[in-house]
Amino acid sequence: MIPRILTLSLAVAGGLSAQVTWDRLLHPEREPQNWLTYSGSTFSQRYSLLDQITRDNAKNLELQWVYQARSLEKFESTPLVVDGIMYVTDPPNNVVALDAKTGAVFWTYDYHPSADARVCCGAVNRGLAILGDTLFMGTIDAHLVAIDARAGHPIWNIQIGDPKLGYSITHAPLVVKDKVIVGVAGAEYGIRGFIGAYDAATGKEVWRFNTIPGPGEPGHETWAGDSSQHGGGSAWITGSYDPTLNLVYWGVGNPGADWNADNRQGDNLYSDCAIALDADTGKLKWYFQFTPHDEFDYDAVQVPVLVDGNWKGSPRKMMMWANRNGFFYVLDRTNGKFLYGAPFTKQTWAVGLDESGRPIRAPGSSPTPEGTLIYPGVQGGTNWYSPSYSPRTGLLYIPSWQDYYMNLAKMPAEFAAGQRYTGGAPRSPTPTLQRGLINTWTAENGSGAIIAMDPNTGQQKWQFKMTDVTSSGILTTASDVIFTGGREGFFYALDGRNGTMLWKAALGGQVAMGPVTYRIDGRQYVAVAAGHALFTFALRP
Amino acid sequence: MGKRGSTDVKLFGALILLALGIPLVAQQRYLPSDVENGSRLYRNNCFACHGPEGNSIPGVDFRRGQFKRASTDDDLLRVIASGVPGTAMPPAAINDSARLALVAYLRSMHEAATGPGDAAKGRTLFEAKGGCLACHRVNGKGSRLGPDLSEEGTIRTAEYLKRKILAPAESIMPEHRFVRVLTREGKVVTGLRLNEDTHTVQLIDQDERLRSFSKSDLREFTLLTTTTMPAYGDKLSPAELADLVSYLLTLKGLDSQ
């Protein structure tokens, strides 16, 4: 018989049952065997210190196991890996706990969203957050649910928006200290967006920041008449956090109506902004608007990548942002000051940026009833797909759409509760997300490319080109290997230094999530979802 | 292994031992045969208007014990015999014993939904004297090793719960079985089996850790077919049993918190 106290000490030594404390979430560099947050760290670099898979041996990667989703929805979830257990969502809102070594299932939690849920762009979910022994998930019917990570049972469940009005949650929450921070989607239904912080123990709301300011709030004057009431401003991708500044950073989505701005003259704050909020109070510290008075649906819904490094020779706390509007930006994240910006893909809606970073609109670029040709197209130069920053190469890796356009026709926009409120039709070559057996994409429609960007110069060090576009996130590792995929169904290992393809696997379905890496019993694994399944690779022992 | 087995009893069972010696005397207000007959009579005579749940007539809900013109059994017998003039409810052309059977069934519908006892007392019993949280979990409190009972009131009947408390060994559902493994290194791990296939087994162990084993790494692998839950027939008074069942029936998941 093993005395109980000894059993416990063995467990701690093995790291098997330790709770995921806030301190652990703050220091992922101490435990690179895990993947504890959506973006790998609060700085959202999606950079792993693991280095067993190298530029030399990546060609030997082999499939270890596959998890087949029960859903035929798009698989956009980034898994979490905690001490050998993988937690991943099966779209839209079922949760699965797996043995990350074998793929065997420990438990499943089935969540049945309300039939009232309405989502513009797929009944999807992008992942979970964890704190202590509790997982947190936002649902497509705008609930935030806390789930026991050991048993898969719900602990609390709160509704934070009315699904009948189009409120939903599709992204992974962000845990900061003892709070769970999450925003709402639904701008295509004329919601008024917000980001909220909820007590991790109870679900009680601690603070709320309205992404579209109401009467009396600063920024309300940037909306003509009462247009702010249905001003959109979704927050549908996970933010970042800087513990030194105690600031939470989040990207805000498009204003409503998307493509008809007649009724909302003004800059329409804080749509299409990067915002910095005090983590304890939710008070706005600064904002930077990428696309004032947006008429193109250019959500600033990208993951803010935080980098401490040299900017033009001086140490600086930076934020790097490849935006849906086709421009790449570097901001000072202490105050939101614009440091650099330039297009990373073909764009025709602006002639450039002024010295404050504000775009100078191109004449004749507004949507018209007859249609206006605009680059980039409605899905943008990039979108919500996670970029990655490697402190080793000093490069930001961006999933991009190149030479991609839309013919944007403006239409009347009338608000009706719970109905689509977009005011236009972007006729675009964008394919349906479910591929057929034959890929009929042509280069005239645009193409996908992984860009390796030197943020100090704006120079693109290299591009890895794909015939079709990509919705895949990117992972970089300490061995300068980067992992990514695309809509063609390939999963790639690339040389982070020069973009050379080291290895590929044809997975037969599009990659539309961010790959992750972890280690168990001395072996490094890489997990990626493609189509409706999750695949895990490793080197042969 | 015998020694290990006694440890298991300590770990899983010691905390839930109850004071012994309380005789169980089944208290039946209605005979099961009456309830059974009443159920048949209900289907043939009442079902069309009152519905399967007994709640199709506004203001009447048999599962909630809600009647418009009756509260006592005598009231019910009278209404069944006379019908309700001016409504679609006719007099029932059935004999006295059939009417009694119908009343027994109507009362059993109510008891099946709410239980026959005091739910507040049942909760105290569950959490204190009963020590049920040592193995079970309710709304985030208690052990993860036994079945989570947070939604028991939505998925079980009073009769089922009573049977499980009195005779838990009668049937053990596959998801509630324990396994004991002996690893190649000589470690014994016992826990609730969560999943199993030809080559691997997943469980939650005594320290509530999720564990996964490759069967080829195990020297022994045993599926335990007995339950660690004692039969409570000689540990609870009839009133306590009723209270406990009533409490369990109040558990409706997160909505009941």
Exactly one of A297, A299, A468, A480 is catalytic; name it. A297
Between strands A194-199 and A205-210, the pairing is: antiparallel
Q: Which helix (H) or strand (E) element contains residue A176?
A: strand A174-176
Residues A494-509: tens digit of each pLDDT: 999 999 999 999 999 9
Domain that residue A508 falls in:
18-431+441-477+490-538
Q: What is the DSSP string of A103-148?
A: --EEEEE-----TT---TT-S---B-EEEBTEEEEE-TTSEEEEEE
Q: Which residues of B touch A130 (CB under 8 A)?
A: none
**Å from B144 to nearest chain A CA?**
6
Residue B33: what are its φ and ψ, rounded to 5°? -65, -30
- Asked whether the beta carbons of residue B140 and residue A148 sit closer than 8 angstroms, the reply is yes
Of A1, A104, A154, the CB nearest to B4: A1
Q: Which residues of A touch B257 (CB under 8 A)?
A: 156
Concerning whether A297 is annotated as a catalytic residue, the answer is: yes
Angle (CA) A456-A457-A462 rounded to 5° is 105
- Interatomic CA distance for residues B183 and B189, integer angstroms: 8
User: Does A7 touch chain B if contact means CB atoms closer than 8 Å?
Assistant: yes
Is residue A500 within 8 A of residue A493, CB to CB? The reply is no
Nearest to A10, CA basis, from B202, B144, B206, B14: B206
Is residue A294 within 8 A of residue A271, CB to CB? The reply is yes
Domain count, chain A: 1
Assign residue B184 the CATH number of its domain: 2.30.30.100
Residues B156-190: tens digit of each pLDDT: 888 889 899 999 988 888 889 999 999 999 999 99
Is residue A481 within 8 A of residue A55, CB to CB? The reply is yes
- Neighbouring residues of A407: CB distance < 8 A, sequence distance ≥ 6: A371, A372, A373, A374, A426, A427, A428
Instruction: Please report which confidence band the pLDDT of residue A198 belongs to, taking 50, 70 and 90 as the band edges.
Output: very high
B59 and B104, same domain (yes or no): yes
Q: Which residue of B has its CA nearest to A149?
A: B210
Query: Looking at B20-166, which runs of residues are DSSP E strands?
Result: 137-138, 141-142
Domain count, chain B: 3
Nearest to A207, CA basis, from A176, A232, A234: A176
How many other C-beta atoms are found inside a 10 Å radius of the C-beta of residue B2? 6
Residues A363-395: tens digit of each pLDDT: 999 999 999 999 999 999 999 999 999 999 999
B87 and B44, same domain (yes or no): yes
Mean pLDDT, residues A237-245 taken together:
98
- Asked whether the beta carbons of residue B207 and residue A2 sit closer than 8 angstroms, the reply is no
Token couple for B254: 């997160």
Q: How many CB pairs under 8 A join A and B?
A: 66
Nearest to A80, CA basis, from A175, A165, A167: A175
- Neighbouring residues of A448: CB distance < 8 A, sequence distance ≥ 6: A399, A400, A401, A402, A465, A466, A467, A468, A469, A470, A486, A487
Residues A147-179: tens digit of each pLDDT: 999 999 999 999 999 999 999 999 999 999 999
Q: Which residues of B touch A2 (CB under 8 A)?
A: 187-188
pLDDT of residue B19: 28
pLDDT of residue A1: 35
**Å from A102 to nearest chain B CA?**
9
Of B197, B207, B214, the CB nearest to A7: B207
Of B4, B206, B210, the CB nearest to A150: B210
B212 and B108, same domain (yes or no): no
Helix (H, G, I), strand (E, B) or coil at A210: strand
**Residue B76, CB-side half-sphere exposure with 13 Å CA sphere:** 18
B168 and B179, same domain (yes or no): no
Residue A4 included in any domain: no
B74 CB burial (10 A radius; 0-12, 13-18, 19+): exposed
Q: Helix axis angle, B238-249 relative to B158-166, nearest 10°?
A: 130
pLDDT over 90, % of chain A: 91
Residue A8 included in any domain: no
Is residue A381 within 8 A of residue A344, CB to CB? The reply is yes
Q: Is pLDDT at B254 greater than 90 in this prediction? A: no
- Asked whether the beta carbons of residue B209 and residue A11 sit closer than 8 angstroms, the reply is yes
User: Does A155 touch chain B if contact means CB atoms closer than 8 Å?
Assistant: yes
Domain that residue B190 falls in:
174-224
Residues B5-37: tens digit of each pLDDT: 333 333 333 333 322 222 223 334 678 888 888
Residue A490 identity (one-letter amino acid): F
- Interatomic CA distance for residues B210 and B201, integer angstroms: 11
Token couple for B126: 């569950």
Residue A244 included in any domain: yes
B136 and B216, same domain (yes or no): no
pLDDT of residue B27: 36
Dihedral in degrees, nearest 10, Cα atoms B154, B158, B164, B170: -110
CA-to-CA dists, residue A161 to A86, A147, B251, angstroms? 29, 19, 26
Residues B39-80: tens digit of each pLDDT: 889 988 898 899 887 888 988 888 778 888 888 888 999 999
Report the length, in residues, of chain B: 257
Angle (CA) A526-A532-A538 rounded to 5° is 15
- Interatomic CA distance for residues A238 and A129, integer angstroms: 10
Three-state SS for A301-339 is CCCCEEEEEEECCEEEEEEEEECCCCEEEEEECCCCEEE
Token couple for A9: 């000490």
Mean pLDDT, residues A39-63 taken together:
98
Residue B257 included in any domain: no
pLDDT of residue B66: 85
pLDDT of residue B154: 82
Residue A6 included in any domain: no
Interface test with A, best of B189, B194, B208, B209 (most A CBs within 10 A): B209
- Asked whether the beta carbons of residue A104 and residue B200 sit closer than 8 angstroms, the reply is yes
Residue B204 included in any domain: yes
B75 and B145, same domain (yes or no): no
Residue A12 included in any domain: no
pLDDT of residue B158: 84
Residue B45: what are its φ and ψ, rounded to 5°? -115, -25
Of B11, B210, B253, the CB nearest to A97: B210
Angle (CA) A521-A525-A528 rounded to 5° is 150
- Interatomic CA distance for residues A305 and A39, integer angstroms: 9
Of B7, B209, B214, the CB nearest to A16: B209
B158 and B168, same domain (yes or no): yes
Residue A445 included in any domain: yes
A203-233 in b/e form (b: 16+ CB < 10 A) is beebbebbbbbeeeeebbebbeeebbebbbb
**Å from B14 to nearest chain A CA?**
15
- Neighbouring residues of A314: CB distance < 8 A, sequence distance ≥ 6: none
Helix (H, G, I), strand (E, B) or coil at B96: helix
A56 CB burial (10 A radius; 0-12, 13-18, 19+): exposed
Residue A454 included in any domain: yes
Q: Which residues of B touch A114 (CB under 8 A)?
A: none
Assign residue B38 the CATH number of its domain: 1.10.760.10
Q: List the beta bridge partners of residue A92.
A: none
Residue B254 included in any domain: no
Assign residue A273 the CATH number of its domain: 2.140.10.10
Of B144, B210, B257, the CB nearest to A85: B210
Q: Is pLDDT at A60 greater than 90 in this prediction? A: yes
B149 and B241, same domain (yes or no): yes
Q: Which residues of A touch B210 (CB under 8 A)?
A: 85, 97, 99, 106, 150
- Asked whether the beta carbons of residue A150 and residue B211 sit closer than 8 angstroms, the reply is no
Residue A158 included in any domain: yes
Q: Which residue of B has its CA nearest to A19?
A: B209
- Which of A225-234, A397-406, A517-526, B60-69 bottoms out in mean pLDDT, i.e. has the lowest? B60-69
- Asked whether the beta carbons of residue A7 and residue B200 sit closer than 8 angstroms, the reply is no
Residue B182 included in any domain: yes
Instruction: Please report which confidence band the pLDDT of residue A249 belongs to, taking 50, 70 and 90 as the band edges.
Output: very high
Interface test with B, best of A99, A109, A130, A135 (most B CBs within 10 A): A99
Residue B167 included in any domain: yes
Q: Which helix (H) or strand (E) element contains residue A180?
A: strand A179-183
- Which of A239-243, A266-270, B37-41, B182-186 bottoms out in mean pLDDT, i.e. has the lowest? B37-41
Mean pLDDT, residues B97-117 taken together:
83
pTM of the entire structure? Answer: 0.85
Residue A272 identity (one-letter amino acid): D
Mean pLDDT of chain B, nearest integer: 83
Q: Which residues of B touch A154 (CB under 8 A)?
A: 253-254
Tokens 């008024």 sit at which residue? A192
Q: Which residue of B has its CA nearest to A6?
A: B207
B141 and B241, same domain (yes or no): yes
pLDDT of residue A8: 34
**Å from B124 to nearest chain A CA?**
21
DSSP B61: B
- Is the ipTM, as predicted for this complex, more than 0.95? no
B72 and B179, same domain (yes or no): no
- Asked whether the beta carbons of residue B207 and residue A11 sit closer than 8 angstroms, the reply is yes
Residue B242 included in any domain: yes
pLDDT of residue A431: 61
Nearest to A46, CA basis, from A303, A236, A267: A303
pLDDT of residue A494: 98
Is residue A487 within 8 A of residue A507, CB to CB? The reply is no
Q: Which residues of A touch B188 (CB under 8 A)?
A: 2
Tokens 């409605």 sit at which residue? A378
User: Does B8 touch chain A if contact means CB atoms closer than 8 Å?
Assistant: no
Domain boundary among B89, B114, B139: B114
Of A7, A85, A153, the CB nearest to B148: A153
DSSP B92: P
Q: Which residues of A touch B140 (CB under 8 A)?
A: 148, 153, 155
Q: Is the dihedral angle over the CA atoms B165, B170, B176, B177 positive or is it negative? A: positive
- Which of A409-423, B131-145, B182-196, B222-236 bottoms out in mean pLDDT, i.e. has the lowest? B222-236
User: Does B195 touch chain A if contact means CB atoms closer than 8 Å?
Assistant: yes
pLDDT over 90, % of chain B: 43
Q: Which residues of A touch B254 (CB under 8 A)?
A: 154, 156-157
Q: How big, in percent rounded to 5, are the helix, strand and coil portions of chain A?
A: 5, 40, 55
Mean pLDDT of chain A, nearest integer: 94
Nearest to B135, CA basis, from B122, B149, B146: B146
pLDDT of residue B159: 82
Q: Which helix (H) or strand (E) element contains residue A486?
A: none
Q: Is pLDDT at B234 greater than 70 in this prediction? A: yes
Which of the pair, A430 or B151, is modelled with greater confidence? B151
